[in-house]
Structure 1
Amino acid sequence: MALRNAWMPVVRRFAAGIDIGQQEIRLVVLSQRGGSGSPVRLEFIAVEPLFAGALAGAEIVNRAAVGTALRALFAQLPRDLSTHLFRCAMAMPASATMTTSVPMANLAASHRSFVGDHALAALEPAVMAEAERVAGIERHALAVDWFIDDSPQRSGCVTIAATTRTHLEARMECAAAAGITLTAIDGEPHAALRAMRHVASFELDESDAYVAIWVGDEGVHGWRVDDESIVAEMRYPAPEHADLVEALRDLAGEGVRCAVLSGQVALLQGVGFTAADLGDVLGCMVLPFECVPPGDDTLPLRDDLLHEPAFAVAFGLALRGLME
């Protein structure tokens, strides 16, 4: 049996991440050979301009234009790559997603004795009711995802993410019009965080504390990671922070080794900030997110895109496809 397994071919899996922005759509394709411990390889990266006015905030108002741009984007794939089967994930803007964490005991104290699938089934009605309450939308109009959180920050809590079915169906319809089947929809901030943690795993030691900063159309999201666990997070603008400096200092706490910066970094200028200012406030070096693997500058792909921090969301979406 061992000999036969040794001769079995190892399958390389492929995954694509699609990030629809206000002015362009970004695509990243990754692959991984065999199990989750194998290195992740960047296969393709591209961008396609989007017709002005196709989006109004989180809402897709011109689905035909988005579908056309998606077709043009995937038409750029090399022939040898386009023959593979991809798991495709698309981003959902932060403003279109409601996320909350609730102590499990508050949701269904009477079901705490259940374990496994029975516990999940018992919690489902309470989770849907909580999503309906927080979103202020009837549950039949919501698309809800949730999980029991085991992170140090939210141990014993249930994390719930919800969006309107209208937002979800619009993205699925645009993808279908371009001949793309979506396997997942993920929030922009969480996808960017996944990408930044991937980069940090190469650049930093496991025990190093660092912050991950993502700049989006609707604001700045930040997380402090210590010993590979998220121990704090922030969003700006927010009522609890007078300005971005205060938000960043609260996030950094007693100090961090490094900051990983991604997203539309140029938007920081709107609040009088630069990447250098971030380093001064946090008291550490700032590492811009790049899709190119450390020490590998020989990929036959567009160099300007490889070093563009705005591709963090698409990269993180593709990573999710490889993990599932």
Structure 2
Amino acid sequence: MSLLNPLLLNARRFGAGVDVSARGITLVVLSERLFGGGPLRIEWLAHAPLARETLAGTEIADRAALAATLRELFGALPRACTQATLRCAMALPTGATLLASVPLARLVPEAGAAAWKKDVSGLYTELEPLVLAEAERVAGIERHELAVDWHVGPFGAIGSAGSSGSSGSSGSGAAALREARVTIAATARSHLEARIECAAMAGITLCALDDEAHAALRAMRHAAAFELPPHETWAALWIGAAGIHGWLVADECVSRTMRFPALEYADLVEALRDLASDAQVGCTLVSGDLSMLLGVQFSLADIGDVLGSPVLPFECAPLADADHPLDVSLLHDPSCVVAFGLALRGVSE
């Protein structure tokens, strides 16, 4: 005899991802069953262009125009989506987000590390002002104008974008403290506030804001779980306005990262070889605006030759329900990856 209400057995959790870029706004809505598991379902895919003057680099120049386009996109959602509680996440431009990783020992005096050895939970309270000072130093922006997110490895797990600090801990010991690193993500608070305001003007409440590159990686890791053999070493590439981000994934963990253009690389070939290092890459997933490869005179075939692996462009199509009609062009558009990754966050959290 089931103790659950039969009506709840088919209930679904919905998440929406909104990617705002110079190409326009892309909206992806995903859902999954609350009970019993099962695959994600793509409920909706939509795209709307933006007037050229709406964005000025990473800044939103015309908030009213952006809000109007958001209102139009969400107004076209099917009934199943409008009647559900949508957890919405929006992208932050990668060019507006600063990432830094510093050894914990550089921030923490030796005496402080010894004191925390028995009480790791106290680490986060005492460390927060030091992290904020480091973020201020690296970003060159006063801390009250920054939105900072951070975590300490191997103790912490990164929190929601835009929060100041993290919580939770695991592990202890002086050796672990000496080896730990503090990973910091920071952006100008104005970038968050502008997007929250535009969403509010459109009648949308955002549950999170996330960096474009991390959202793209989240989507590609989800696709790899379905399309690639388990435990295979593979590479993920995302092509955005700020350049190309790359990750090497081995045993389901990111082992190496790459960003191009960068001063340490003469060209993209050198960057890709550094990403692969000595690893045998089984497959490479590529996403984002693939037309930008033309700017560096590269192709998907060239990527495969350098990494020595087959190359698969990210597509929503393999993850879509055949009985659920959606825009065919968007199903095969690799640039939907950021919105998909954002919706995935909305569903899973």
TM-score range normalised by the length of the shorter chain: over 0.9
Once the two structures are superposed, residues 231-280 of structure 1 have per-residue CA deviations (whole angstroms, 9 ceiling, x without a partner) of: 00000000000000110111112230000000001110011011111111
* Among 176, 182, 189, the residue aligned to 2:200: 176
2:285 alignment partner in structure 1:
260
Cα distance, 1:98 vs structure 2: 0.5
1:131-280 matched pairs, under 5 angstroms: 131-150=135-154, 156-254=180-278, 255-280=280-305
Say what the alpha-carbon RMSD is for the aligned residues: 1.9
Deviations 1:58-79 (A, max 9, x none): 1111111111110111111012
Superposed CA deviations along residues 281-316 of structure 1, whole A, max 9, x for unmatched, are 111100110112358544300111011000100000
Q: 1:36 to 1:306 in 2, by over 3 A?
A: farther
SS of equivalent to 2:315: coil
1:290 aligns to what?
Answer: 315
CA contact (8 A) 1:23 1:51 kept: no
Which region of structure 1 is more displaced relative to structure 2, 236-245 or 269-278?
269-278
Question: 1:219, 1:36 → 2: CA distance?
Answer: 41
Task: Tell me the equivalent position of 1:98.
Answer: 98
Other structure's SS at 2:3 match = helix
Going from structure 1 to structure 2, the CA distance change for 1:105 and 1:274 (only over 3 Å counts) comes to same
Match of 1:303 in 2: 328
Which whole-Å CA distance do the structure 2 matches of 1:157 and 1:38 have between them?
A: 36
**Whole-angstrom CA distance in 2 between matches of 1:36 and 1:134:** 46
Q: d(CA) in 2 for partners of 1:158 and 1:113?
A: 17
CA shift, 1:163, in A, is: 0.4
Matched residue type, 1:90: M
- Structure 1 window deviating more from structure 2 (207-216 vs 50-59): it is 50-59
Report percent identity of matched pairs: 53
The answer for the alignment partner of 1:46 in structure 2 is 46
Q: Work out whether residues 42 and 320 of structure 2, in 8 Å CA contact, stay in contact via their aligned partners in 1.
A: no
Task: Write the letter of the residue equivalent to 1:234.
Answer: M
Gaps (5+ residues) in structure 1? none
The whole-number CA distance in structure 2 between the counterparts of 1:60 and 1:171 is 8
Asked if 1 retains the 8 angstrom alpha-carbon contact of 2:97 and 2:211, the reply is yes
Q: 1:308 to 1:114 in 2, by over 3 A?
A: farther
**TM-score normalized by the length of structure 1:** 0.93
Partner of 1:15: 15
